[in-house]
Structure 1
């Protein structure tokens, strides 16, 4: 399907990661530089475009006035190994990635595109480890991001402790989903892990610390895009409905 809006590539030179970050951006139909737009940033960027159909779904629904016009930015990863290093709580490049996201990617986007400066209008989305790093980014920089969409995030005690110690939880608007079939997930590092129970603990913890808005869904699905693709549509409606 031909987009009514515009998709283009851009590159962000990152001193924190010591490499160029490829970024794919989407501008809504009738983009007006004099108007301020909400921003959605997708980790696992190419997966969200090619499998999750993020751009095409947003484009169709904006055109039909189902969701608000917004700018979407997708950040692809190089390979599974670098993805783990960038996204995992123990990843060697995770602190650098979080700084690159907030101090290089966002400023570059706002230089070129008319983005609303209100953190409530800025949302991060990701699946699995991409959901994890999205939550960590919002907890670490509530001055930039209030919105989080996390699909089947990886959860460990470090994540739970960060929520307990972060004063920013109450400012966040969070969409959180997990599949009931995610009890034996084979990870890219070869381990088999239960994602369902830690996400239930995450749900209990977030409910205790009371984000400004919090939606939690247990889906009849597993740790694949078979579950995440339709859930992307639910998340867009939850976060960006007119």
Structure 2
């Protein structure tokens, strides 16, 4: 599918991780430096672009006047093992990745793209562990990120659940989805885990805190892109939809 906007590759030097992060960037059609755009940062970046069709869906809907123009930055992971190290709250590179998003990725994107400075216009999106790290980053840096889209986040970390319970401030926008078929999910580290009940518990915790805009979607989906890909469309409408 030919896009009306533009896709480009970036190389971001991360001092936090001591490595170069390859990043995929989408800029909407008619992009201009005279306008500040909302920013959407995707974990599992290549999956969101290639399987989730995040950029192509956004491009189609921006062109059709369905959603606001948005800049998308997608950060791929190297391997399933490195993904656990980066995204899991007890992972060896978790703290470094939190810092990388705030101190390396965001400043470089802000210096090369015309993005809004308002935290509510900076959204983090991710599936499974990518949803986990998205929420945790927003909790750690509410001054920078005040909006989260998490699809079937991994909630098996006590550290994560404790931090959510004790957080003084939740993101003002949270889109949270899970599937009723996610009761025996085979993880990339070889375990089989129930995602549904922990996500229901997360829903109860978040609902009790009454964030400004919290959308919870529980459907018949399973822990695959067959569920997440159409769910992305709902999330984009909730966050960026224009009233017709």
Scaled by the length of structure 1, the TM-score of the pair is 0.98
CA offset digits 1:206-230 (Å, max 9, x no partner): 0111211100011111000000000
In the alignment, the residues of structure 1 paired with residue 163 and residue 11 of structure 2 have an alpha-carbon distance, to the nearest angstrom, of 31
After the TM superposition, which segments of 4 or more aligned residues of structure 1 sit over 2 Å from their partners? none
Aligned residue runs from structure 1 range 81-230, under 5 A: 81-156=81-156, 157-169=158-170, 171-230=171-230
C-alpha displacement at 1:103, in angstroms?
0.4
C-alpha displacement at 1:172, in angstroms?
2.4
C-alpha displacement at 1:96, in angstroms?
0.1
Answering whether residue 48 of structure 2 is matched by residue 48 of structure 1, we say yes
In the alignment, the residues of structure 1 paired with residue 79 and residue 67 of structure 2 have an alpha-carbon distance, to the nearest angstrom, of 32
Aligned to 1:235: 235
Answering whether residue 66 of structure 2 is matched by residue 66 of structure 1, we say yes
Aligned residue runs from structure 1 range 8-47, under 5 A: 8-47=8-47
C-alpha displacement at 1:155, in angstroms?
0.3
In the alignment, the residues of structure 2 paired with residue 117 and residue 16 of structure 1 have an alpha-carbon distance, to the nearest angstrom, of 22
Q: May I ask how many residue pairs the two structures share in their alignment?
A: 241
Gaps of 5+ in 2: none
In the alignment, the residues of structure 1 paired with residue 80 and residue 193 of structure 2 have an alpha-carbon distance, to the nearest angstrom, of 17
| RMSD between superposed Cα atoms in Å | 0.7
Partner of 1:142, secondary structure, is coil
In the alignment, the residues of structure 2 paired with residue 158 and residue 179 of structure 1 have an alpha-carbon distance, to the nearest angstrom, of 23
CA offset digits 1:142-196 (Å, max 9, x no partner): 0011110000000032222111211121x42100000000000000010000000
C-alpha displacement at 1:129, in angstroms?
0.1
Partner of 1:20, secondary structure, is strand
Aligned to 1:6: 6
Partner of 1:208, secondary structure, is helix
In the alignment, the residues of structure 1 paired with residue 11 and residue 213 of structure 2 have an alpha-carbon distance, to the nearest angstrom, of 33
